[in-house]
A = this chain, B = another copy of it.
């Protein structure tokens, strides 16, 4: 018999868990739709040359080949699974530049594949939910605030507890370092150290910076003091006077604008923090960066991150296409939410009522079917029993599937124009008239 052992790194949820994932995908997608983003989907497969055009980790790429090579179609030899949605988006925009409207706001919710070494918490296939706003030639800073507001809306709608969006602008640290005479070639190294503040602590970061800069009298300690300051949202602009460097001041101005516009767009003050120490790993960010923590579960790390970058589309098209975006690694997030029991996966279906016609005789059955049709017409999921048998069997089926209430229908119910509802938790039961509109619309 063929092996049914799970394949490491390729997650597969139970029906209960998949139902939660589906609800999350639907809630996240709805926020994107409510804000006017355009849906796109790119094939799982791109040319190898497309995926590697921007550098990227070639070691993680899965190539696809025919199990039995036939030589029929030559382009079969150059195809690989995408490892993120950003490179395919850039290719998509370059290809359709004339039919799209700019700023182009797109969302994309798909699986991506990475040939990682299998280890706990590492997935080789996972969902990403991404949005980006891409401008042509220019892109106002208010777009960064729109992304921030959408992050807040998503996290509220997922109802996974209080969260805090931390926002920063990379120009601040880069400009500050330039201002004190540190060469641009060293900025990324310093930024990389600072970004590890929470992970390795103050002393570790100080050592790292000193190693990165070599023999210099740069005061890394004061820098860290500055970057660790608590900055009230309304005082960001005050930081402008701390350096005369233009890039620094541009960073402060942009950060202040993002904060103000995000609050105007409905982000609550307690959901937003300025944190000058965050940088995000990816080299391609050039301005605003954000990450998001769950207040009660900081150990989960950032659940939703992003930032502004210059011209990713430029790899595939002439012209300048600045962008800002964010990404939710849904598979990783869900696996953590399940593990920490922040979200429960209880039901194997959406069913609200499991309907049991006590007899399968004509009138009872057609009454039960009409009752079920009415529920569905009113958007209430319900399920007709398929197997005839004892009530105890039906109750077991409903309970195992996670349905809370069953509906019993016999000849008395048909005569009286009622159904009997039985709650499987309380074991209470009561009759409801099928003319009682309130019953149908309350579910």
Stretch at the interface among A60-68, A188-196, A225-233, A411-419: A60-68
Q: Which residues of B contact A387 (CB under 8 A)?
A: 103, 140
Closest B residue to A378 by beta carbon equals B34
Contact: A386 with B133, CB < 8 Å? yes
A302 interface residue per 8 A CB criterion: no
Q: Which of B4, B44, B66, B73 contacts A125 (CB 8 A)?
A: B44
Residue A366 contacts which of B96, B103, B264 (CB distance < 8 angstroms)?
A: B264
* A15 contact set on B, CB distance < 8 A: 38-40, 100, 106
A115 is contacted by which of B76, B100, B350, B382 (Cβ under 8 Å)? Answer: B76
In this assembly, does A397 line the interface, its C-beta being within 8 Å of a C-beta of chain B?
yes
Query: Are the C-beta atoms of B65 and A65 separated by less than 8 Å?
Result: yes
Q: Rank and list the top 8 A-B pairs by shortest CB-CB distance, nearest first.
A: A36-B383, A2-B53, A10-B43, A15-B38, A61-B67, A36-B351, A33-B350, A34-B376
Decide if A12 is an interface residue (CB 8 Å cutoff).
Answer: yes
Q: Which of A18-26, A159-167, A287-295, A303-311 contacts B (4 or more CB under 8 A)?
A: A18-26
Question: Is the beta-carbon distance between B125 and A43 smaller than 8 angstroms?
Answer: yes
Contacts beyond the supplied A12-B43, A34-B380: 16 A-B pairs with Cβ under 8 Å: A3-B49, A6-B95, A7-B79, A18-B38, A18-B41, A35-B376, A35-B382, A35-B383, A36-B349, A36-B383, A38-B401, A58-B67, A62-B65, A103-B386, A105-B349, A264-B369
B125 touches A45 (CB 8 A): yes
Tell yes or no: A59 within 8 A of B by CB: yes
Would you give 13 A-B contacts (Cβ < 8 Å), ordered by A? Answer: A4-B50, A4-B317, A7-B45, A19-B38, A34-B381, A36-B351, A43-B125, A44-B125, A48-B67, A66-B115, A143-B386, A264-B369, A266-B373
**Residues on the B chain within 8 Å of A100, using CB:** 15, 348
How many copies of this chain?
2
Contacts A7-B43, A99-B14, A101-B397; is A2 near B316 (CB within 8 Å)? yes
Please measure, in the bound complex, the distance between the C-alpha atom of A100 and the C-alpha atom of B6, giving whole angstroms: 17
Given A34-B376, A264-B366, A387-B103: A58 in contact with B68 (beta carbons within 8 A): yes
Tell whether A265 is near chain B: CB-to-CB under 8 Å.
Answer: yes
Of the listed residues A36, A92, A95, A133, the one surrounded by the most CB atoms of chain B closer than 10 A to its CB is: A36
Bound CA–CA A48/B96 (angstroms): 37
Name the contact of A33 in the complex, choosing from B14, B68, B72, B349 (C-beta under 8 A). Answer: B349
Whether B7 lies near A75 (C-beta < 8 A) is yes
A316 and B2 alpha carbons, distance in the complex (Å):
6
